[in-house]
Chains A and B, each alone.
Chain A
């Protein structure tokens, strides 16, 4: 769920890495395909030093691209990290193999509550382990929002989905995720509908509401908001928690006085999971298990979370987390807030998928 910035450049770098790896194409390697900007590189170096297995690490920037590659087959990857809603469908398509849990002794470290929720997508957690999880909430420019809307309801979806509020925020810039699966459930939540994507009528109602907000929205995009928010080009966005923290960090580094905030609205927000799984045609299944087991180490999972500012599904890792990460309720929500977070089903009916994409296009373009 991270960025799309310099998408092709990164893909090119990934390609170069992938090709470089050909020379080592013997048994002592593991090929990992993960989101861009989504790991502390030191983890990979430590893994290589500890196990002697070379990591060939490629990155991607969208679930759709990964899914297309996986469905084409023979990706050559040993570990892939799709989001659970996508993973669920990919399991049904026969893309992944069941994990050999005897090779994953570190599974004892997991966070049962998170894995129970993941079981909705991956029954019995048979095919995947959790890498990171996060929420989809509101990111905002503290000063600009205060100026444009002095009595802004900062703890509610009303901030962005109430037309009256959004109208006033238009002047300082609004960006929303260009992903119906991640955005429409929050609109449904605001409208008091069940935040899920199984009912075509509800999907259309939410899209229609979004169509009304269209005049006040600068752009729909799934990653540009990171820089736009950090530079002060926009003042409010609906986006992924970790991305907005990234914007906050960048704004602080730039030192231009842009102050970024993130909030999980009181009505609840969407919970998502990025899962590590092994493709059915993976060339190095053994090494893939060793890699997953390494990621399941508490210190390693904590190191990853400290770097990317997302929570992970490893309960034992929490004692190794940075204080700033562990105590930030927007990353590790309180149990009460966690209870209010909802998950969205995976779309399997192609008619529902078509209706969703179509409603989305209509909301965005008026056509």
Chain B
């Protein structure tokens, strides 16, 4: 028997530990992705399932050949022919980007205040940020309809105190979509920010202050750079799901709010065109892989730096 403390002593356990996340990715990400990719290369038809060709293994090798020769990139060409898809992608990215900036502006002071609060009440504050998750997202978005609609709470309140004389039309506009997204995703921004601000070394700020640095300068030169990992994590955590958001724009947005999630829904459900909607999904994934890869890059550099 070899020394059990030596690295790699139990290769089986080691491989199991390393292999588990890969297996997870293979089963729950790669395999579904290849199914989607496969459908995106086929053609729509009235059948069950509504696309062709289908892989018929009972025909043996000939079945595989027939299936393979029926695949093509036609659906991707279709996406380039109509500017609708391009507009939808750009509009989704724009809405997600603006929402992310808004969340950073709101979330940073929140996280900062939480991190500065007395130690005893911090868990309660974290709890308060998480609390909305106890209610379903759908119910919370529906609640916004009740608040924002022309006869809703907000307008009733503003009319009552005399601030406005006509109801504000916020519901079914892009403003409502921003409100919905910012409200729903804000905790995902606040929590990583709080995590990085809370473990900030306060002696650094004291030292800066002793050396005559004004508070705003210390904040800008010490707190902000040190909280950057939290900022990056928060931004990606909210930006990526916001790009593919469907429920919020569907419920709160107007008909001119074009987002890729809605376009994909239309292709899949209204047109019953699984191949084209799969092609949209594959492209959406590519659009999202770029920021995810960037994020990975930043993170791995950080890990390197810490070594």
Contacts and interface: CB of A to CB of B under 8 A. Distances in A.
Contacts of B269: 62, 64-65, 67-68
B49 A350 contact: no
B54 to A, nearest CB: 12
B48 A71 contact: yes
B69 interface: no
B256 A233 contact: no
B151 interface: yes
Nearest to B272: A67
Contacts of B150: 173, 233
Among B44, B138, B255, B268, find the residue whose CB has the most chain A CB atoms closer than 10 A. Answer: B255
Contact of B48 (A7, A64, A95): A95
A202 to B, nearest CB: 19
A256 to B, nearest CB: 10
Interface in A73-107: 73, 89, 92-95
Nearest to A354: B271
B73 to A, nearest CB: 18
Interface string B249-281: 000001111100001001111111100000000
B50 A93 contact: yes
A228 B83 CA distance: 33
A219 interface: yes
Interface residues of B, number: 33
A358 B172 contact: no
A70 B44 contact: no
Nearest to A231: B151
A219 B171 CA distance: 10
Given A218-B172, A231-B151, A353-B271, A73 B48 contact: yes
Contacts of B270: 64, 180, 353, 357, 360
Interface in B130-185: 136, 138-139, 142, 149-151, 172
The A contact surface, by secondary structure, is helix
B146 to A, nearest CB: 10
Given A361-B266, A365-B256, A365-B258, A350 B271 contact: yes
Contact of B256 (A64, A65, A358, A366): A366
B47 interface: yes
Contact of B272 (A95, A353, A365): A353
A108 B275 CA distance: 44
Contacts of A366: 256
Given A93-B50, A353-B271, A9 B139 contact: yes
Interface in B31-47: 44-47
Contacts of B268: 68
A367 interface: yes
B82 A232 contact: no
A71 B50 contact: yes
A357 B262 CA distance: 12
Given A65-B269, A68-B268, A93 B254 contact: no
A65 B263 CA distance: 16
B30 interface: no
A357 B266 contact: yes
Among B46, B142, B266, B267, find the residue whose CB has the most chain A CB atoms closer than 10 A. Answer: B46
Nearest to B265: A64
B50 A219 contact: no
Interface string B47-83: 1111000000000000000000000000000000011
Contact of B49 (A72, A219, A231, A354): A72
A72 B138 CA distance: 26
Given A219-B172, A367-B87, A93 B46 contact: yes
A12 to B, nearest CB: 8
A226 to B, nearest CB: 13
Contacts of A360: 270
A350 B273 contact: yes
Given A68-B268, A71-B272, A350 B44 contact: yes
Contact of B142 (A6, A73, A92, A93): A6
Contact of B273 (A6, A70, A354, A367): A354
16 contacts: A8-B136, A9-B136, A9-B138, A65-B269, A67-B272, A68-B268, A70-B48, A93-B47, A94-B47, A218-B172, A218-B254, A350-B44, A364-B256, A365-B257, A365-B258, A367-B83
Interface of B: 44-50, 82-84, 87, 136, 138-139, 142, 149-151, 172, 254-258, 263, 266-273
